[in-house]
Structures are given as structure tokens and as C-alpha cells.
Amino acid sequence: MSVTLDIPDDFARRLETQPQAAEAELHLELAVALYRAGRLPVGRAAVIAGVSEPAFADILRQRRVPMPYSLTDLEHDIAYAGGHR
């Protein structure tokens, strides 16, 4: 699914960044917000943010966002490790 978000020009100017950088920043902020709200697991949030899972986990740590580690997370990590030997 693709969603288009129209940002008013004055708001975009306040971001003081190039359009592509603003898009990346908004993707990251959305991913963090959805993860924090419990709506996305870390792996899916990392995809939305456009970064690797370890990089996204680092971002969450820097922002002091709690990262519960569930059984699903463990199963995902085991499957990932098994495919990358």
C-alpha cells in the first residue's frame, strides 16, 4: 500500500531540509511513533524507516523508547540468524 501525504509548503520550509531528507525524516518519525504505540514490531518499523533493524534499534535506544523482547521477536531473530550463516 502506498499513502501520499501532502505537507503545506510553509511547514516543509520549517523543516529546513531538502524534500528527500524531509521524506526520510517523516518516515522515521512515523516508524518510531507506530512502534512506540505497539502497532508495529521492530522489523516492520525499520522497513518503514528505511534502515536496518540494528540501526532502528539504536535509534530507539537513543530516544529512550522501551524495546520489549517478545517470543515473536525471539523467533524472528532465530529465523534470521539461521538464514544468514
pLDDT digits (tens, 9 = 90+) for 22-33: 788 889 999 999
pLDDT given for residue 56 in this prediction: 96
Which one-letter amino acid corresponds to residue 43? G
What is the rounded distance in angstroms from the CA atom of residue 69 to the CA atom of residue 67? Answer: 6
Which portions of the chain are predicted below pLDDT 50?
Answer: none
Q: Write down the pTM of the prediction.
A: 0.70
Spatial neighbors of 31 by CB under 8 A, at least 6 apart, are 40, 45, 46, 48, 49, 56
